[in-house]
Amino acid sequence: MREKYSISKSMVEPFEPQPIINLEPYGNLCAKTVYEQLHIQSQNDLDKLRQAKSEIYKKSFYEGILLVGKYQQKRIFDVKKLIQNDLIESKEACIYYEPEDKVK
């Protein structure tokens, strides 16, 4: 897979996930935890990946606790807008809107 995208081994190994959100009962690497629980083998395990996403995606946003940065120890839900404003003010981001459905 690395060859397909011209990614050298040194670009990805050794690689250690960095915890940024804690989500109970999954801990601070919830994606890795669910990946291991569901025995996901590759990006082709679509059903298991969908299950993993549905299990933790919304839960992370509403219940996840930020572990890094200015807003650490706060719920993601509570600080999303604050982080967005900080990034816009520092010119590190801009507001982007994307339609959910086909536009006519």
pLDDT in tens, 46-85: 999 999 898 898 899 899 999 999 999 999 999 999 999 9
pLDDT given at position 13: 85
Q: Using the predicted structure, report yes or no on whether residue 15 has a pLDDT greater than 90.
A: no
Nearest Cα residue to 28 out of 68, 62, 58, 1: 68
- Strand boundaries in 1-104, DSSP class E: 21-22, 65-66
